[in-house]
Structure 1
Amino acid sequence: MLQSDLTQEEHTALILSTPFLEDSQIEEMQELLHQQQDWNVILGMLHVHRTAGIAWKNIKRYAIHLRKDFKATYFLKSLEIMYKGQLETARDNITLNEQLFQALDQKGIEYAIVKGSVIGQWAYGDVGLRLFGDNDLFISQDQLQETGHVLKELGYIQGSWNYETETVTPAKRKDILYLIMNSHQTYTYMKPTPECRFIDCHKIDVQFSVDLMTGNRTDSIVQEMLSRRIQTSVDEHLVWSLKEEDMLIFLCIHFYKEAIYLNEVESMKDLLLYKLLDIYGMFMREDLLDVELFVRRTKAYGFEKMVYFALHYVNEVFPHTIPDLVMDALQPESLAYLSEVLGANDVVHTWNQPIRKRFFHINRSLEIQKHSVHKE
């Protein structure tokens, strides 16, 4: 059923991007594939939101037998290629991670993978459905130096990738130190991978705080989460991960932080469907989460505001996903913050557009610029 605030193309992109389709949604998807629409726009939306792989899997599973009557059969091959590329990229990363994990284990360093391949397995059941370009390594701050030594011994360099020379350009020492002092992570570690078909270099982001994008330290929480880490199978490889409830807290904070800051909005990193789908998928997978434990832990850490924000956005785009008992337990006194964009120190904009529509408004940052000009 077409949502009143979405165009036909936006609605089609949303249906195609939704894992765990119900019977009524499958029938609707089949009908939409037979309709005349601007399929170039739909393909662009799937690409921006990193959901092309999900779209391919949905079509292949539920509608490929009807393809001779589709209005845009050319569109299918693009989706198939994107999915297969994502799968190979994920497998390259998973294989390259193993050498690093073995070295960390030998040194007795406690670590866990967050987001990325683990979420591809947990939330989607297929690592090819979750596009990721780097690997997030979660450690305690007191093991930063030793972890850095391990990475450097393996040939990793902190810096940025130079596409012209196909080498890593080392970061300046002052920039490396600045990021550690003012953020939750280190400067990215990179290692060229000429042996891989799909990735130029293997990237490791070392994260040591759950209060993302700030210099605030959460050492005790990080240590608690690592003490509960578990081994889980990712594409038939055993890896260390955060416990499911801790991982979900981390995902919610990550979504919240990237949704509220002006620089993230201007970079179009604020509202991407794949970030919501990570959370959505964890709730949809049967027996994955202990919801009551998740709520208790969120409240114990004082993360209600950030977690509620993310869960509210999930329910706005995918209604009735998050149980009322979770929402009621975490709801803060004021909900004004759900529509606010923050600059360095204060609110710089308040959104009026519905959340679902805003996800598909690619030029939404222009509204902030208009607002700022009007205020002046």
Structure 2
Amino acid sequence: MDQRKTEHRSRDERGRTAERFVVDCVRAAIGNRRGRFDWVDADLEWDRVVALATKHGVSSLIVSAIETHSVQNVPDSHLQTLENRTKYVSQRNLRLFQEVATLSAAFQNEGISAIPYRGPVAGEVIFGSVGRREFGDLDFLVSRESIPDLRSVLLERGYDHQYVLETTGDLTENQRWAYARFSRDYAFVHRTEPFEVELHWRVVSRRFPSTIDLGTVWERRSTLPVAGTDVPVLGHEDRLLMLCVHGTRHRWERLMWLCDVCAYINTQSFDWDTVLERARRHSRERMLYLGLAVADELLGVGLPETVRRAIDRDPVIDSLTSHVRNRLFDEATYWHLDTKRYQARTLDRRRDRVAFWIKGAIEPDRGEIELLSLPRPLVPLYSLVRCFRIGRATLNRLLTPTKCGEKRNE
């Protein structure tokens, strides 16, 4: 028994050492730490290093740190795996960068306003290189009124709708109306190319207060020349706030999102009074503070004293920061309700937290809207469908034994 405990403890320690190596590499790559890797040896759990690099989207940053700081004792096979991943990501990103320029030009030709606010443009703006930042799809911030025109452009360019339910065909007019009212995005996938596009008319769902939309940021945009097209990009203060909102909503589950925040602060100048004022106006102060606090604790980032004092005044930030830190490398699976409880805690005001739970319980999600088409006068019936689906999922969850490694409570 003692031997098994010792072996288990040894595996845990090697796993934590792999996590330390990954964090040290990304800190060195984004300039927040002097590179000292003389502690690294061949006994490091290199399979876990590669797995973490892939999961957290930081393979290119790790390769950069290894090469820049001449890290010794890295097995050739694992280094080759990281380099191959980096090369693949770079080549894919270049193709998608070109697609962003192509779609932006097509939208502009139709007189449609749209800002690509994540994806390859973010990589270029934040890191100065489109190849250093991994991403999945192309996200455009658009106005809800322009969705029909945008849909026509994308369909003409070889894209089809991508729905939550695999059985969903084309939506009816009533479903599209409900989609625009209750949802926040449309997803499209290219018929022949590995391109996915999401059109967002809200940055977060209606459950969250005071949405950030295209009208909020359009007048403050700048442009980035890409393949002969002036692609609209977010202003610095708007992008930083959106980075923190996005990462906080997703519990900062990927180290890459924290790298975005740190690298952006390292390379750009910000009007911090403006950042704080916009966060306050949109009821996003705690989301901003959490992103900055976690980024500073894990990776180190230079924050003005006024910002640090604002973070320190929030009584919940320390608890949320510990929660994020403890979950960052945790492989356990958590119940969906745990995520919702965490998201509610990131809201600034009590009334916003109450509204979050009420809307989550009764407002339809995309799945309910795709499930059936209701005439507009009967749209309130979607709430009954929502409650039924939540109740069924909860009952199934309670009747299903908890699997090994799965947690129902935080």
TMscore range, shorter length: 0.7 to 0.9
User: 5 Å matches for 1:106-117?
Assistant: 106-117=109-120
Q: Equivalent residue for 1:299?
A: 280
Identify unmatched segments of 5+ residues in structure 1: 162-167, 194-199, 260-269, 340-350
Bigger Rg over Cα = 2
Q: Is the 8 A contact 1:209 1:217 kept in 2?
A: no
What residue identity is the alignment partner of 2:220? R
CA drift at 1:84: 0.9
Q: In the TM superposition, what whole-angstrom CA distance separates every residue of 1:118-140 from its partner, at most 9, and x where no partner exists? A: 22112222211111121001112
* Residues 141, 208 of structure 1: 8 Å contact kept: yes
Q: How far does residue 209 in structure 1 lie from its aligned partner after superposition?
A: 1.4
52, 58, 72: which one pairs with 2:59? 52
Pair 217,305 (structure 1): closer, same or farther in 2 beyond 3 Å: closer
Deviations 1:282-336 (A, max 9, x none): 111143x333322222223332122112222212212344333223236664316
Aligned to 1:244: 236
Deviations 1:218-265 (A, max 9, x none): 578531301221102469964211111111111111112122xxxxxx
Q: Is the 8 A contact 1:112 1:137 kept in 2?
A: yes
Pair 220,120 (structure 1): closer, same or farther in 2 beyond 3 Å: closer
- 2:153 corresponds to 1:150: yes
Q: Indicate the residue corresponding to 2:328 in structure 1.
A: 359
Report the equivalent of 1:272: 254
The letter of the residue matching 2:107 is L
Deviation at 1:60, TM superposition (A): 2.0
8 Å CA contact 1:295, 1:330 repeated in 2: no
**Which deviations, in whole Å up to 9, do the C-alpha atoms of 1:33-62 show, x marking residues without a partner?**
445211111111111111011111222222
**Could you say which residue in structure 1 is the equivalent of 2:201?**
208
The residue type paired with residue 196 of structure 2 is K
> Partner of 2:106: helix, strand, or coil?
helix
The SS at the match of 1:209 is coil
- C-alpha distance in structure 2 between counterparts of 1:321 and 1:235, whole Å: 34
The question of whether the paired residues in 2 share the 8 Å contact of 1:123 and 1:282 is answered with yes
SS at match of 1:7: helix
Q: Is the 8 A contact 1:137 1:207 kept in 2?
A: yes
Which residue does 2:394 correspond to in 1? none
Distance 1:228 1:279 in 2: 20
What one-letter code is carried by the residue in structure 2 that aligns with 1:283? I
Give the drift of 1:105. 0.7
- Percent identity of the aligned residues? 18
Counterpart of 1:283 in structure 2 is: 265
Please report how far the alpha carbon of residue 90 of structure 1 lies from its aligned counterpart in structure 2 after TM superposition: 0.8
Change (3 A) 1:371 1:43: closer
Residue 192 of structure 1 aligns with an amino acid whose one-letter code is R
**Structure 1 residue identity aligned to 2:20:** H
Indicate the larger mover: 32-41 or 224-233: 32-41
Structure 2 residue 188 is matched with structure 1 residue 189: yes
The residue identity in structure 2 corresponding to 1:247 is R
Q: Distance in 1 between matches of 2:76 and 2:179?
A: 47
Between the aligned partners of 2:78 and 2:162, the Cα distance in structure 1 is 37
The code of the aligned residue for 1:180 comes to A
**What is aligned with 1:173?**
171
1:20 alignment partner in structure 2: 30
SS at match of 1:94: helix
C-alpha RMSD of matched pairs (Å): 3.3
Q: 1:88 to 1:355 in 2, by over 3 A?
A: same
Q: What residue identity is the alignment partner of 2:189?
A: M
Q: Distance in 1 between matches of 2:178 and 2:310?
A: 38
SS at match of 1:91: helix
Matched residue SS, 2:248: helix
Give 1:60's aligned amino acid: E
Which residue among 69, 73, 77 is the counterpart of 1:70?
A: 73
Q: CA separation in 1, counterparts of 2:162 and 2:294?
A: 34
Contact 1:8 1:37 in 2 (8 A): yes
